[in-house]
Structure 1
Amino acid sequence: MQLPTPVFDANASAGGGKDLGDLPEWDLTDLYASPDAPELKRDMDWLEEACEKFAADYEGKLADLTAEEMLDCVLRHETIDMVTGRIMSFAGLRYYQQTTDPERAKFLSDCQDKITTYSTPLVFFSLELNRIPDEKLDALFEANADLARYKPIFDRLRLMRPHQLSDELERFLHDQSVVGATAWNKLFDEWIAGLEFTVDGEVHGIEGTLNYLTEQDRSKREAAARELARVFAENLGLFARVHNTLAKEKEIEDRWRNMPTPQYGRHLANQVEPEVVEALRDAVVKAYPKLSHRYYELKRKWLGLDTLQVWDRNAPLPMEEQRTVDWPTARGMVMDAYSGFDPKMAELAEPFFDKGWIDAAVKPGKAPGAFAHPTVTDVHPYVMLNYLGKPRDVMTLAHELGHGVHQRLAAGQGELLSSTPLTLAETASVFGEMLTFRKLLDEAKDDAEKKVLLAGKVEDMINTVVRQIAFYDFECKLHDARARGELTPDDINALWMSVQAESLGPAFEFMDGYETFWAYIPHFVHSPFYVYAYAFGDGLVNALYAVYQEGDPGFQEKYFEMLKAGGSKHHKELLAPFGLDATDSAFWDKGLSMISGMIDELEAMEA
């Protein structure tokens, strides 16, 4: 059992400012009251016994079960997953609140070790299921409608059938995981959280330092960028070791599993065809000139510069008012946008603010970025932010609440079917951002404010689509190169730079030291090839929002039904009610044309 993988979102960034109001903190008591709570010990003891009994009852017998017996087996497995998820969610969320706290790190590791040991007897389950002939399983589904509801789980497991190892090797990989990728992930998290950067005589963590890159004062942006480069360079050996080890570990396991490409396992997990991802990737790369290249040329002119430096990429526009959005205002902005779409959406989001489901403040040792973690289906999600009041932080709030609403709706599917593939997991979050943006745009008091809002949205979409596809290309190159041998820090730097100029365009120059900026991106460490899910989600939502704007009858109801489906349906089935199909190459062009259209509007304002 892995600790909950945080979904560190693409545009999450801390803002600046004080007097933000009463920022909420997590109340984790809905999971457990404390690390020494008797309920936690009870659940841990139950889990050990339940795993042993499950194996005793079912190992070597799955092929002979009746439909009713198979249903009981699946339900017992689901309960084990629920208890495991509750424990690891509690341990993981406590850890992310303060990754530098040795006690929290130890507690997480101890939980991880125990659950890995307890769950080893369960490894047989998927292996045996995949040895049952398709026709026999199909007959069980036909015989019992309650069992048939779980067919998507069986289908997902069977995707791995060609890549399944021997029972003994699968058990070894399961046991070894706590000192493999999981351990390297923790090292990365703790190291990043412990880094210190000095800007203008003040010491900051990585969140506060990245925040300076969105300051009006260009000298502060430059100072922060150079300080980031200095500290990354000092720690580059460790980051290179983390990436070398994880990429090699993945290459070894992929080779044993006969995975055709390093990306293939992610595609299987996302239930998306490799050709769909490549169609998305190719469409975005082809669109670089009409998207990022064109926009950044506009921004270069607005800033009055001959060339843009990397510290200008997320700079505010000269006409943009320096503004700090306090927490109550941010809450009101997002909730108004949600309720304007449908009051039900606001009702689902409301408890996050009032019941301790959000941890918003920037604190020493806290994990950087933002995420929404669904925990287990009989509790509720938790949202983590690093909120310091920039307008972009409001969009991050809208984004994470979208995840939270999606996770609450999908919880009705139960523990095994609620988890949404990454390609669709970004749908509600990006849609929530779009609703908030459109409401603010409609309420803009003049063309200058509209221009700032449009430019900000275009930048976010470029960060979500162009930047993430460039990240995907970097990862593809990294894993391909690592398969041929150890990579020095300079090797990885060169791979990083090979995608930057292509994606950002000729308006940019790149300072010495920018070549190290791959080092702090958590996605490369936690979830290899995750990043294309952002571009997938943004393109999907742009196409979906176009259908909404066209006045599609019953859109809201169909939208909620899509979110409720969780992981129970394929993306083709989920998008069909909206007349959309991600396997159609024109689908991606439709999504990208929305970004291009916004840049058209910005160019027209210059005329």
Structure 2
Amino acid sequence: MSNSSCHTNQPNHNTLKSEKKKSDQLPSWDLTDLYPSPDCQELKNDLQKAQTLITQFSEKWKGNLSQTSSQELNQALKSYEIINEILGRIGSYAQLIFATDSTNLQNTKFYQDIHEKITGLSTQFLFFTLELNQLSEENVKNKMQDNELLQWKPFLDKIRILRPYQLSNEIEKLFHEKAVTGANAWSRLYDETLATLEIPLKDKTVSLGEALNKLSSSQAKERKDAAQGLSSVFSKNLRLFSIITNTLVKDKQISDQWRGFSRPDSQRNCDNQIEDSVVDALVTAVTNNYQNLSHRYYLLKAKWLGVDKLHHWDRNAPLPEDHDQPIRWRDAKTIVYQAYHEFDPRLGKMIDQFLHSPWIDATLRTGKSSGAFAHPTVPSVHPYILLNYHGRSRDVMTLAHELGHGIHQILAAKQGYILSDTPLTLAETASVFGEMLTFQSLLKNQTDPRHRHILLSRKVEDMLNTVVRQIAFYQFERKVHEARHENELLPEQIGQFWLETQQKSLGPAFEFTPDYNTYWTYIPHFIHTPFYVYAYAFGDCLVNALYNVYQEGFPDFQDLYIEMLKAGGTKSHKELLAPFGLDASDPAFWQKGLNVINDFIDELEQI
């Protein structure tokens, strides 16, 4: 073998340097697995195909469901799923294009055009679920004797939960069509406003996401400057955000009154297939633990930071000894991969596929959605993940979180488009479990007491943000929705509700400046998915209890865990947790999850 051939088999220094640099480049996703471009022929063909199938579907089944046999209803459900998956593919593509850069007018126009077309198409077969709910209990029970139709029972059960609240076909159709120019239009205005916000910071302006990231800076002045910049911009836009909130809350109230929901979160609870009483038990358990969890921890943090009182911009401040050195993208990938792989190589293999495929967008750029999400798209493709990677430890946990969603979505995809959809309360299970795996992997390998202290404090803060903060958000929403029944709310009233719930949840360690009253404005869940937020606390407490079972050496835990994720939306929370000996309807279940946070704080006090 010649020297030159030996040389080509061994990467030289420049090649290795180039490869390392490339591995540190933040990825952007490639959406061509959905469609080549917004104006491609494939997308136009799918819109036409959907229209043809919907016409055929309507002609065959409209007004005839009560007379169908079990076999015919099974055929109708299969056709219904095919149509929905086509529309789901188109809608996913438009939503991801919009999230990539919502300041691009072509993107926003494409998103709105597609949204209107899908709404128009879906209106034409809205009759199907409405007529399914009009079937008598006896009719449905008789049809369920057919084993082939039995596979659709979870979907039919989910639809029929809302049966008591269903209106006439004409009114349901009106609500559906008006959403484009009603709630959805206001949500779009909110998104586009957030995307274009420019936050003043010293001698420059930055995006909302960049400014929020500065609230985790190790420099107190930098945190304060970012907070003041955010406050000034939120205040300038306060009237608009208040109008959007008042309008959407009133819009929801009108719908709830027509449908007969007894409380503002009841529809969300029905969608999540969870009883009001279970949500109440969760909220009560968390609020009863405020003093022992968040109040106790933040008093410790004030002492560690050497201050009498914390300001709101200190909430996510790193500890003095936590320099939070930037974590390179390639290192973040390694950390998360190893955590999943150590738990189960099957999950590690799936994580590896995500990390080496153009399915993740972590690049920082203007106009991009400021949050993080995993979009399941459709079972025939794969999920896409969006996050904004600043190189902080919390970003690594976000990566672990969203990859957990991605794994869940891929495993559940085998159930098909309709049955793969997991209720929000269970949708956070794999994501939060992935965070716990990553944290425990890092903690296990840490022997230095100072570094262990840092890791524990970071984890406790993340858990408080997931549990305490989200329940405070839920209580804020309840106050806003209940007060809106009487009158339109002034910005000051909304701000007061925000301050009250924040003071109660965070405790006496904080001294809130008046400008903090505006910080409710940037929480998108209040706009897009009212009462979504308790699902985070539900998921965190559930995972804490679940992880305890794993640590205790529960037999075949990994296999049972993967089977739970594969179930998607085919089982209730009771059915999914039963194999692990857990029951979310038991009030003690929530305390078991909260005790995990409590134990971490105990260890921090001892350190």
Fold-level match, TM-score > 0.5?
Answer: yes
Residue 416 of structure 2 aligns with an amino acid whose one-letter code is: G
TM-score (normalizing by structure 2): 0.96
Q: Distance in 1 between matches of 2:184 and 2:214?
A: 31
Aligned to 2:33: 30
Decide which of 141, 146, 156 is 2:144's aligned counterpart: 141
Residues 161-310 of structure 1 aligned to structure 2 (within 5 Å): 161-310=163-312
Query: In the TM superposition, what is the alpha-carbon distance from 1:19 to its structure 2 partner?
Result: 10
Q: Is the 8 A contact 1:19 1:326 kept in 2?
A: no
Decide which of 70, 80, 94 is 2:73's aligned counterpart: 70
Q: Deviations over 1:244-289 (max 9, x none)?
A: 0100000000000001111000000000011000000000000000
**Is residue 399 from structure 1 mapped to residue 424 from structure 2 by the alignment?**
no
Q: Deviations over 1:476-512 (max 9, x none)?
A: 0000011111011111111111101110000100012
Residue 27 of structure 2 aligns with an amino acid whose one-letter code is: P
Q: Distance in 1 between matches of 2:97 and 2:541?
A: 34
Q: Distance in 2 between matches of 1:131 and 1:470?
A: 38
Decide which of 487, 504, 507 is 1:505's aligned counterpart: 507
Q: Distance in 2 between matches of 1:19 and 1:482?
A: 52
Aligned to 1:3: none
Decide which of 420, 424, 427 is 1:418's aligned counterpart: 420
If you compute each CA radius of gyration, which structure gives the higher value, 1 or 2? 2
Q: Distance in 1 between matches of 2:551 and 2:421?
A: 28
Q: Distance in 1 between matches of 2:371 and 2:541?
A: 22
Aligned to 1:10: none
Q: Is the 8 A contact 1:266 1:528 kept in 2?
A: yes
> Secondary structure in 1 aligned to 2:374?
strand
Query: In the TM superposition, what is the alpha-carbon distance from 1:445 to its structure 2 partner?
Result: 3.6
Query: In the TM superposition, what is the alpha-carbon distance from 1:20 to its structure 2 partner?
Result: 8.4
> Secondary structure in 2 aligned to 1:198?
strand
> Secondary structure in 2 aligned to 1:486?
coil
Decide which of 313, 317, 320 is 1:318's aligned counterpart: 320
Q: Is the 8 A contact 1:24 1:353 kept in 2?
A: no
Query: In the TM superposition, what is the alpha-carbon distance from 1:177 to its structure 2 partner?
Result: 1.1
Q: Is the 8 A contact 1:55 1:121 kept in 2?
A: yes
Q: Distance in 2 between matches of 1:99 and 1:515?
A: 27
> Secondary structure in 2 aligned to 1:203?
strand
> Secondary structure in 2 aligned to 1:261?
coil
Q: Deviations over 1:447-491 (max 9, x none)?
A: 000000000000000000000000000000000011111011111
Decide which of 108, 121, 126 is 2:124's aligned counterpart: 121
TM-score (normalizing by structure 1): 0.96
Q: Is the 8 A contact 1:20 1:388 kept in 2?
A: no
Q: Distance in 2 between matches of 1:311 and 1:57?
A: 60
Q: Is the 8 A contact 1:214 1:316 kept in 2?
A: yes
**Is residue 90 from structure 1 mapped to residue 93 from structure 2 by the alignment?**
yes
Instruction: Spell out structure 1 runs of 4+ moving beyond 4 A.
Output: none
Q: Is the 8 A contact 1:194 1:365 kept in 2?
A: yes
Q: Deviations over 1:71-115 (max 9, x none)?
A: 110000000010000000001100000011110110111111111
The range that moved more, 433-442 or 181-190, is 181-190
Q: Deviations over 1:34-87 (max 9, x none)?
A: 011111010001111211211111011001111111111000000001000000
Decide which of 518, 533, 536 is 2:535's aligned counterpart: 533
Q: Distance in 2 between matches of 1:435 and 1:199?
A: 36
Q: Distance in 2 between matches of 1:379 and 1:364?
A: 28
> Secondary structure in 1 aligned to 2:135?
coil
**Is residue 61 from structure 1 mapped to residue 64 from structure 2 by the alignment?**
yes
**Is residue 390 from structure 1 mapped to residue 399 from structure 2 by the alignment?**
no
Query: In the TM superposition, what is the alpha-carbon distance from 1:321 to its structure 2 partner?
Result: 2.3
Decide which of 44, 49, 52 is 2:47's aligned counterpart: 44
Q: Distance in 1 between matches of 2:451 and 2:44?
A: 55
Q: Distance in 2 between matches of 1:220 and 1:118?
A: 50
Gaps in structure 2 of 5+ consecutive residues: 1-20
The range that moved more, 129-138 or 556-565, is 129-138
Gaps in structure 1 of 5+ consecutive residues: 1-17
Q: Distance in 1 between matches of 2:259 and 2:556?
A: 45
Residue 105 of structure 1 aligns with an amino acid whose one-letter code is: T
Q: Is the 8 A contact 2:218 2:323 kept in 1?
A: no
Aligned to 1:158: 160
Residue 77 of structure 2 aligns with an amino acid whose one-letter code is: V
Residue 63 of structure 2 aligns with an amino acid whose one-letter code is: G
Q: Is the 8 A contact 1:351 1:357 kept in 2?
A: no
Q: 1:445 to 1:20 in 2, by over 3 A?
A: farther
Decide which of 109, 112, 130 is 1:106's aligned counterpart: 109
Instruction: Please provide the CA RMSD for this pair.
Output: 1.0
> Secondary structure in 2 aligned to 1:130?
helix
Aligned to 1:377: 379
